[in-house]
Amino acid sequence: MIIVPVKEGENIERALKKFKRKFERTGVTKELRRRQQFTKPSVKKRLAMEHAVYVQQLHQNQD
């Protein structure tokens, strides 16, 4: 559970902003979106391979 301490006289919009920031950091919405869509293991493997190739090319270009 997310707890946002509100100081005396603090604006409610500011407290809401704090709450939203804390909620985003927990990653709940990202996890929900990820779970809504199923990706086949072969597609995951292919994407991981493409990402690895991309990162390797970045490192080669820096040298």
Reply yes or no on whether the pLDDT at 16 is more than 80: yes
Axis crossing angle, helix 28-36 with helix 12-26, rounded to the nearest 10 = 50
Q: What is the DSSP code string of the chain?
A: -------TT--HHHHHHHHHHHHHHHTHHHHHHHHHS---HHHHHHHHHHHHHHHHHHHHHH-
pLDDT of residue 48: 97
Distance of alpha carbon 11 from the chain centroid: 28
pTM recorded for the entire structure: 0.52
Average pLDDT over residues 24-43: 92
C-alpha 4/C-alpha 11 separation (Å) is 13
pLDDT of residue 62: 85
